[in-house]
Structure 1
Amino acid sequence: MSNKQAIAIKLEVHPQENQQHENSPAQMARREMLSRMLNAYLRESGQHAPWAWEGSVHLPGITLAIQLPATGQMIYGTLLHRSAAGHHVYGNQLYASAIEHLSPADWRPLSFEQVTALLLEEIAAAQSLPAGEADELVLAEIAAVPSQPARKGDKLTSRSPSSPAAALIDQQKTALEQMVYNSLSHMTSYLAHAIETGPPRALSFRYAEQTLLCGHPFHPTPKSLEGFSAPDSRAYSPEYGVGFDLSCFAAAPELVAEDWLGGADSEGSAPWVPAEMTEAAHRMLVEERRHYKLLPCHPWQADYLRGLDDVQRLMRQGLLIDLGRTGPRVYPTSSVRTVWNPREDCFYKLSLHIRITNFIRENTEEQLLRTLDASRIIAAVKDRWESASFQILLEQGYRTLQAPGVDSATRAQLMAGFSMIVREAPDGCNSAGKSADGCSLDEEAPDGYSSTGESPGGYSSSGQVPDDWRSSGDAPYVVASLMEVLPGEAEPLLFRAVRESLRERFGQEADEGKMDWLAWFRQYVEVSMVPILRGYATYGISLEAHVQNAMLRLSDGMPDACYVRDLEGISVDRSLAEEQGWVGSLVQRDSPVLYDEEEARHRLKYYFFVNHLSHVVQRLAYYTSQSEQPFWRIVRETLTELREQSEATDRLRSVADDLLHSPTLPAKANLLSRFHQRGETPLYVDIPNPIRIG
């Protein structure tokens, strides 16, 4: 059944549905959340082909059948798109019945709340099954928390109803339910704000960073946020299009821990130190303290830190000085805590003591070490690995507070709380975000996308488009946002970006309808997959190039360059690091960035091929009314070409063969990991390898 046929049948079966009501922010958020929960559940329960089988149902248009075996239920509905990697698209109405009731007369229509309850009951019930039965019910991965941290392929064992874990399971179910509705609430607000303000006339780097409204397509709580109040969220969440002034502390040099690619840094030679902070320190610090080092801080985090007893003690001792909100104006990016400073042309990865999806978002000591070790290794090969069409953004260094005379827990708390990492910015960010004098025109607009005199849509009352919204052929866009369909749109943001890029080159006569999307995708693979694989095969470096860590630059509508950021998540094959002479020179033998080859390859497969590439394939296929198969065939052909090149190394052939022939690829089990509160040590499941369908 084609997508168009399924849609036609769906509308015939449910003509009473109110389309205007369905497009309210609340309904849009429910649809987006439901899609994420269903896709995560199907992936993690091993139901990779949830099609209604012939003769199993008797209602026209019902093409979806989801099993809930632990609770004896079925969910039926309409499947608008079948995805090889599980990015399915669903119709608006779902039904439930007992497994043995195949007649639609026994079905009941489901609301979002009812589907959520069914899925959570199913997961919780599976924990109480006797060991072994969960496997028979296609729920091998749904189980209780093991005692050891998980790495690749952790399998969990079920608990009996009498197990002491039963109470824990109930607590976990309640906690996940709360986070589902937390995420729903935030997503609804973000969508409502997007509708109220409207899109800008032209895309920009900043707009793309602040338009990730719905988030991870396989996460049950993609927009959950614990720690921000409603006013906090309005002031600091990127989805509201905000900018804000940084806060700053000045610390006695002996309290500062820092590490930089170029060695120890100083205030006088650190280009990332904003002039506003330096000037504020000069005004506010007495002469004998003007040698203190500056610690940029998120304003919410500064408020949190001021409430800590040990911070108050250091301030009373004069070892730590609160300079308040010094500026400059910065703009939160899609990760919330990483902010863009257009004036200094860099990013600050700041600490925030709030939980965003799975984690408290602070830079721990281990993460700081991982980040700089990764950056040193990347810096050593950067010139050989990079090209005009592929670049990796270095983390240039970190700075934090290291308090003397405190216990280890307090030391860790303060080090994580004050930590900040400086990241270089890709070329082109500022060309879409600065005025002629180099200052962002939006610096005085803390709320939304408008400056003084601008309409809510982002343009001035005179009709002039502010520079903050002017498109630039050099501006890269975060891939995660390009995958999202914004309110009022019928296609992902990527398609608009391609149109604008075409018009920059060819003017209004540019015809996007003639775009060869298979050729477009082949070029995308060339600027992303090919260099990522070559780097892994040559240097053993596995980049965490998921869609939120990747940025795409377009030229004439085509993929022109891929940028990868956030080095804290990369993994380096220990054996190749030793061969290159990095161990003992660039990094210590026990560096947390070093992994065995199997684990490094496992992470490469998930982050790029499953998280990243499968998402791009699904978006292109569904929104150009094509099958996913031709796109995966391009991946397969490119891998085959790579392995057959005369200069291909044995290692490159090995990883290409693995990707071509392995029956499965690893996928992060976000639903189960969230249920078991395994954010730091997530679980994984195996999914059918979509590359094999090509």
Structure 2
Amino acid sequence: MEMMHDRSYDDADRVATRAFLNSLMREWTGWSLHRQGDGEGEDAPLTARFPLAARGSAVEVEVAHLSRVGLHGFRLPLRERRPGLAARPLRLPEFAAMVAAEPAVAGGQAGAGLTFLRRVLDSLDETAGFLAQGVLSGGVFAERDPSFLEGEQALRFGHAVHPTPRSRDEFTRADARRFAPEYGGGFPLRWWSAVPRCVAQGASRTRSAAALTRALAAEDPAIPARLLDAADGRVLLPMHPWQAARLALDPEIAALMREGLVVDHGEAGAPWSATSSLRSLYAPQAAFMLKVSLSLRLTNSARLIKPAEGERGLVVDRLLAGTVGERIAARFPRFHVLGEPAFLMLRRADGAPLAQTMVVLRDNPFRGGDAPACVLAALCEIDPDGRESGLSRLVRRIAAREGEAPAAVAPRWFRRFLDAAAAPLLVLQADEGLLFGAHQQNLVVGLSEGWPDRVYFRDCQGTGYVREFLPALRAAAPGLDFEAGHLFGSHEAARIMGYYLVVNSLFAVIGALAQADLATEGDLVGLLRRFLEEIAAQPLRDRTCLDHLLAGRTLDSKGNFMICLRNIDENTQVTDPLAAYVPLANPIAGC
């Protein structure tokens, strides 16, 4: 058992160190590359060196894969070198403490170092603990196309470019085992009911949010009739059990319960499972998925849904129900936006909303549980060995079935993915003024015999609009409050699209294929450039984003390392998302 623990910790250390270093190297310019030994030839091992002036030393690590798209691979251990002394191996916890205390990195934020270090250690410990369970592996991709839920639960390690990818403040190990998606479990919802005047709600379709949540309960055969009878004339709220237990201790909510305005009916019904985002829940029998507020911090922010975010989801749903949505469906029939047509939450006696109780309903196109699909982040997640991924296994399966070399299948898979995912997202920004935050966890890839067949975008609450398109959008959908959403000028929108779609998502596909030696990054970046040139040749209304991608010297990447080191909550303390971006050399322009 101890040997298993040691192997799990070693694997977790490799995964966590890779994510830590890649995030640090994107944001801190103090590191450098060197060839080991006396030789300067290309065959000499390449080393990344991180000088730590405060300690009078430098930490080095061998670079196993030098990436043009910012997803490097490393060969551990890390080694600290001091003049006149032998190199000393060290693990991530010690290195993270050194970095957090280094003024050249932390600047004037060194006081946040203890919180940062705790999150690094918690993330590492959670990854090691999960690996020790042996619950899931990437093997499903080698055998068949996963179901939607299998694809969501296959994301094991979290954000690939983040110093604390599995940090979950307030979550215990027991909480993770019950509620985290990677453990593959499920749990019943906890049902509350409230008198209508204590509920704030909104809906964009014909049925109210209250009617939809009651239908969720009524259509679940595992919900006892007595629960529905007890809630007659009241509004049913489906609650995450973890959140409900904490909310019951909230003085304002406890007061509502004492007065009988809110009633806790306990846990009931068929199991629901967390998707890769943790706070979004899925049940194969349900017409909708649920996105809930959770009073904990995941990676960069506390996961409370703001009331304005619920309203934004309704605006997007109404917009796509009209002529804009008809044009999108006709032009890109394999691209789907998962609507968020309703939300509800409790409110205080004075009418003020209690955001910590908010529940959003999201369309569930995977009802029945059999439709093969996978969140892109799980497909692109690199194994602890630094080579294989769900995507590489999937490509090898296609190659074996079709009698081709994997290296011939990989660029074809990438091109099909570009056609299914990138083309609609780019054109909708350029021709409709819609800006979708298409990072890896917001793109679900529908699969057919391993090939990308269709793409689903989720999380409409973060959708933005290009300011120059507002007159056309208002004409297409009169009465909608686009100003309540995220508004960006075309140049700002180009930078945001460059990060979410290209750096976060497309570069992840390139990195996964290249690290498995299924293609070179240069060839795949070249393929991406040719694809973008084809899109740019179309008669588009706004070419700003494509010009930026094809000719800009740099692209933007979110500054996850410094956001985390400085203990900034993105949800409450960042008003300008571009302020947290850092430049990344644009490999597309260099092709």
- What TM-score results when the alignment is normalised by the length of structure 2? 0.89
What residue identity is the alignment partner of 1:178? R
Give the counterpart of 1:561 among 436, 444, 454.
454
Match of 2:355 in 1: 416
Residue number in structure 2 paired with 1:337: 279
Residue 430 in structure 1 maps to residue 414 in structure 2? no
State which drifts further: 273-282 or 591-600: 273-282
Residues 168-204 of structure 1 show CA distances to partners (whole Å, capped at 9, x for unaligned) of: x343011100000010111111222235889566532
Q: Aligned equivalents of 1:600 and 1:663: distance in 2?
A: 17
CA contact (8 A) 1:549 1:566 kept: yes
Who wins on radius of gyration, i.e. which is larger?
1
Q: Are 1:326 and 2:268 matched, yes or no?
A: yes
Residues 294 and 510 of structure 1: is their aligned pair in 2 closer, same or farther, counting only changes over 3 Å? farther
- Write the mapping of 1:223-622 to structure 2, written as runs, cut at 5 A: 223-262=166-205, 265=208, 267-268=210-211, 273-275=216-218, 283-284=226-227, 290-380=232-322, 381-386=324-329, 387-405=332-350, 411-412=352-353, 415-427=354-366, 430-432=368-370, 474-486=371-383, 491-498=388-395, 513=406, 515-581=408-474, 585-588=478-481, 590-622=483-515
Equivalent position SS for 2:171: coil
2:407 and 2:137 mapped to 1: Cα distance? 32
User: Out of 92, 95, 101, which is 2:79 matched to?
Assistant: 95
Secondary structure at the residue paired with 1:516?
helix
User: For the residues of structure 2 that align with 1:650 and 1:592, how far apart are their CA atoms?
Assistant: 22
Identity of aligned residues (%): 28
Give SS of 2:584's match.
Answer: strand
Q: Determine if contact 2:339/2:362 at 8 Å carries over to the other structure.
A: yes
Provide the C-alpha distance between the structure 2 equivalents of 1:372 and 1:399, rounded to a whole number of angstroms: 12
> What is the letter of the counterpart of residue 25 of structure 1?
S
Shift of 1:217: 1.2
2:9 maps to amino acid? A
Contact kept, 8 Å, 2:287 with 2:364, in 1: the verdict is yes
Cα distance change on mapping 1:193 and 1:272 into 2, 3 Å: farther
Determine if contact 1:260/1:397 at 8 Å carries over to the other structure.
yes
Partners of 1:37 and 1:218 within 8 A in 2: yes
Distance apart, 1:346 and its partner CA: 2.4
Rounded to whole Å, the distance in 1 between the matches of 2:485 and 2:302 is: 19
CA 1:368–1:89 in 2, change beyond 3 Å: closer, same or farther?
Answer: same
Residue matched to 2:64: 80
* Structure 2 SS opposite 1:347: strand
How many Å separate the matches in 1 of 2:385 and 2:75?
18
Matched, 1:210 2:100: no
Residue by residue over 1:547-578, the C-alpha shift from the partner in whole angstroms, topping out at 9 and shown as x without a partner, is 11111122243221121111122211123123
Contact 2:286–2:364, Cα closer than 8 Å, also in 1 = no
Deviations 1:70-122 (A, max 9, x none): 53543223211111121000112222225xx4x8x653333333322232222
Q: 1:107 to 1:501 in 2, by over 3 A?
A: closer
Post-superposition shift, 1:280? Answer: 5.7
**Where does residue 191 of structure 1 map in the other structure?**
131
Q: Deviation per CA, 1:483-505, whole angstroms, max 9, x where unpaired? A: 124579962012334456678xx
What letter corresponds to residue 50 of structure 1 in structure 2? L
The change in CA–CA distance for 1:585 and 1:610 in structure 2 (over 3 A counts) is same
For structure 1, list consecutive stretches of 5 or more residues without a partner in the other structure: 1-19, 127-138, 144-158, 160-168, 433-473
- Indicate conservation of the 8 Å contact 1:352/1:417, yes or no: yes
> Does the 8 Å CA contact 2:148/2:372 hold for their aligned counterparts?
yes
Give the 3 Å change call, closer, same or farther, for CA 256–281 of structure 1 in structure 2. farther
- The letter of the residue matching 1:389 is R
Residue 560 of structure 2 aligns with which residue?
Answer: 670
Say whether the 8 Å CA contact 1:358–1:679 is kept in structure 2: yes
Contact 2:204–2:341 (CA under 8 A) maintained in structure 1: yes
Aligned to 1:31: 14
AA partner of residue 626 (structure 1) = A
Contact 1:22–1:28 at 8 Å: present in 2 too? no
Change (3 A) 1:661 1:242: same
Query: Of the candidates 582, 585, 590, which is equivalent to residue 688 of structure 1?
Result: 585
C-alpha change, 1:589 and 1:36, in structure 2 (3 Å) is: closer
Check conservation: 1:633, 1:693, Cα contact below 8 A.
no
State the secondary structure of the residue aligned to 1:68.
strand
SS of equivalent to 1:96 = strand
Give the alignment's TM-score, normalised by structure 1: 0.76
- Count of residues paired in the alignment: 575
Q: Deviations over 1:260-280 (max 9, x none)?
A: 111561655668522267996
Which 10-residue stretch deviates more, 531-540 or 21-30? 21-30
Kindly indicate whether the alpha-carbon contact (under 8 Å) linking 2:48 and 2:63 is maintained by their aligned counterparts in 1.
Answer: no
Pair 426,23 (structure 1): closer, same or farther in 2 beyond 3 Å: farther
The residue that corresponds to 2:550 in the other structure is 660
* Aligned equivalents of 1:556, 1:359: Cα separation in 2: 37
How far, CA to CA, are the matches of 1:272 and 1:48 in structure 2? 57
- 2 CA distance for matches of 1:220 and 1:359? 14
Residue 599 of structure 1, CA deviation: 2.7
Q: What amino acid maps onto 2:256 in structure 1? A: L
Q: Would you tell me which structure has more strand in proportion to its own residues?
A: 2
Q: Secondary structure at the match of 1:355?
A: strand
**Residue type at the aligned position of 2:372:** A
Determine the structure 2 residue equivalent to 1:180: 120
User: How far apart are residue 518 of structure 1 and its match?
Assistant: 1.4
SS class of match (2:33): coil
Contact 2:439–2:501, Cα closer than 8 Å, also in 1: yes
Deviations along 1:274-300, one digit per CA (max 9) or x if unpaired, are 22679968524778x611111110011
CA distance in 1, matches of 2:546, 2:385: 41
Q: CA RMSD in A?
A: 3.1
The one-letter code sitting in structure 1 at the alignment partner of 2:218 is A
Would the alpha carbon gap of residues 47 and 480 (structure 1) be closer, same or farther in structure 2, given more than 3 Å must change?
Answer: farther
Structure 2 portions without partners, runs of 5+:
none
Distance change in 2, residues 1:584/1:641 (3 Å):
closer
8 Å Cα contact 1:276/1:326 also seen in 2: no
Q: Output the CA distance in 2 between the equivalents of 1:488 and 1:193.
A: 18
**By how many angstroms is 1:69 displaced?**
5.7
Q: Does 1:108 align with 2:93?
A: no
Match of 1:50 among 33, 54, 57: 33
90 and 601 in structure 1: CA distance in 2 versus 1, 3 angstrom threshold: same
Secondary structure in structure 1 of the residue aligned to 2:441: coil
Residues 250 and 281, structure 1, Cα contact 8 Å, conserved in 2: no
On the 8 A contact 1:553/1:562 being kept in 2, the answer is yes
Task: Output the CA distance in 2 between the equivalents of 1:679 and 1:235.
Answer: 26
